[in-house]
Amino acid sequence: MFSIIRPGMRMSDVDATIRKYNAERLVEAGVMSSVDEVGTYMWHGGAHHIGYDVHDRVKRPEIIAPGIVFCIDVGIYHEEWGIGFRLEDNCLVTEDGCENLSAGIPRTIEDIEAAMRGE
């Protein structure tokens, strides 16, 4: 997702891109038969501002500008299976793209377990 983010985009465009990406992956995995079903598995928006509150509210459509920090919030939930996941990355918009401020967070099972052991 970070490769597409540029100043001048709207937050709603980021959200739509994330929803489309998730929908396509869920169809590929056989979880859904149509991308139109994505709302069944993605219950919230794909991006939100951050600030004093966890989910700051901003009137949309907000134009993304350099210096804005927001959260790319990918969450998929399968109620029938009783599972779900949520991955949030903080994004700083730069003059020509963006920087993933949470890139150093462990993501693989091995890296998470190593961090839990204090390695």
Q: Name every residue whose Cβ is closer than 8 Å to that of residue 112 and which is 6 or more positions away in sequence.
A: 106
Burial (Cβ within 10 Å: 0-12, 13-18, ≥19) of residue 51: exposed
Is 57 within 8 Å of 51 (Cβ atoms)? no
In angstroms, the CA 19 to CA 28 distance is 14
Over residues 71-90, the mean pLDDT reads 86
* C-alpha separations of 7 from 17, 32, 62, 63 in Å: 15, 33, 11, 8
Over residues 52-74, the mean pLDDT reads 77
Specify the CATH number of the domain 2-116: 3.90.230.10
In angstroms, the CA 84 to CA 42 distance is 10
pLDDT above 70: percentage of residues in the chain: 92
Kindly report the pTM of this predicted structure: 0.75
